[in-house]
Amino acid sequence: MVAIELFRGDITQLKVDAIVNAANNSLLGGGGVDGAIHKAAGPGLLLECKTLGGCPTGDAKLTSGYNLLAKWVIHTVGPVWNGGLNNEPSLLRSCYASCLRIADEFKIKSIAFPNISTGVYGFPKQLAAEIALDEIHACLKNPGQIRKVIFALFDNENFSIYNKLINCG
């Protein structure tokens, strides 16, 4: 059985096998969770990311965790919200599926996700949480190595949304 947990706080402080970085297409750092992960991981993360050639929206790539408590960072590029008319929900769903596929490939047992695309990318938080939980549940019907999924939520609004969805759904 796979446990799904909520954590209110900084994803870089979690001791899990992998944390997910809500990255931009360059993978070279940015604001929000991306900037926090790069800062906490140290310069080795940026050096490795420079070798990856970026990442398309909806896909994911793996790096070492460097100075993080997590052994791995799975970088995924969520869609920028443009009113939902540019395949944004499908691309966000693909982010979660791509991360779980990498987690299974690398025998990752515990993984922490932020609420991808809901910061500066503007994806509606409620819809993003519904997509995330739906995709996690769908992928975990055959969980492979994963035993724990944590949603690391930095703000009260996201935490409240996930808490309601998990406890009422």
- The span from the CA of 97 to the CA of 20, in Å, is 12
**CATH code matching the domain that covers 3-168, chosen among 3.40.718.10, 3.40.630.30, 3.40.220.10, 3.30.950.10:** 3.40.220.10
- Over the stretch 118-167, which tens digit does the pLDDT of each residue have? 999 999 999 999 999 999 988 778 767 899 999 999 899 999 999 999 98
pTM for this model (two decimals): 0.96
Quote the DSSP letter at residue 24: -
* pLDDT in the model for residue 143: 64
- Over the stretch 75-134, which tens digit does the pLDDT of each residue have? 999 999 999 999 999 999 999 999 999 999 999 999 999 999 999 999 999 999 999 999
Tokens 């769903």 -> residue: 93
Clarify whether 155 is annotated catalytic.
no
* Phi–psi pair at 6, nearest 5 degrees: -110, 140
* Phi–psi pair at 61, nearest 5 degrees: -140, 150
Residue-range domain boundaries for the chain: 3-168
**Residue 34 half-sphere exposure toward CB, CA atoms < 13 A:** 22
* pLDDT in the model for residue 169: 55
**In sequence order, what are the residues at sequence separation of 6 or more whose Cβ sits closer than 8 angstroms to the Cβ of residue 164?**
none
Active-site residue, from 34, 59, 104, 155: 34
- Over the stretch 37-62, which tens digit does the pLDDT of each residue have? 999 999 999 999 999 999 999 999 99
